[in-house]
Amino acid sequence: MLTALPEEFFMGSPSSHLSPLWKHFRHLGRVQEDYLLGLILRKIDFDVNQGTFSGDPTRERLQDYLSSLDRRMYERISDLEKNSTFEVDWFGEQKSVGQHLMYLSDHEVLHHGQFVVYQKLQGWQFPKSWATWGL
C-alpha cells in the first residue's frame, strides 16, 4: 500500500485529531521491531523509544525501513524453524512463535482498517489491488 499512495495521501490526515498516514507506517515498523526483538530476546517488550527509524518521513525511507525489517524478520523465523519449542515470554505467559506472530498480524490488520477509514473520510481512491475486498 505504501508505494501505491499518491504523495498527498501519504502526508495527509482526514482530521487534525488524527496522525498523518505516514506515521502509521512508521508505527507499524516500530511495532515490528518490538516483535523481532521478542524473537531475539525471547521476551516481548513494547517500547516506543527503541525504534530505529529516524530522519525525514519520505516514502523511500519508510519503504527501506520496512523492507529491512521484513528481511530481518524472515531471517529470524528461518533460524527458529529448527527449534519447534521456542517460546516468547509475554508478560509472564509463554507464547509459541506462531502465537507471537499472530499477534503482530492482528495489530497490522487493525491498521488496515484505519487505512480504510482514512481513505473513506478523505474521499481518496483505493489502490486497484483493494478491489478484492470490495473497496
Scan for cell 503482530, then name that residue.
104
Q: Residue 1 — pLDDT band, cuts 50, 70, 90?
A: low
The string of pLDDT tens digits covering residues 80-131 is: 877 778 899 999 999 999 999 999 999 999 988 888 888 888 787 777 877 8
Handedness of CA 17, 28, 130, 21 (dihedral sign): positive
**pTM of the complete model:** 0.86
**Residue 10 and residue 22: Cα distance in Å, rounded?**
5
CATH 3.40.50.2300 is right for the domain spanning 2-133: no
Average pLDDT for residues 51-59, to the nearest whole number? 86
Task: Please indicate whether residue 80 or residue 8 has the higher confidence score (pLDDT).
Answer: 80
Domain coordinates of the chain in residue numbers? 2-133
Task: Check pLDDT > 80 for residue 5.
Answer: no
CA 85 to chain centre: 26
The count of C-alpha atoms lying within 13 angstroms of the C-alpha of 98, restricted to the half-sphere facing its C-beta, is 4
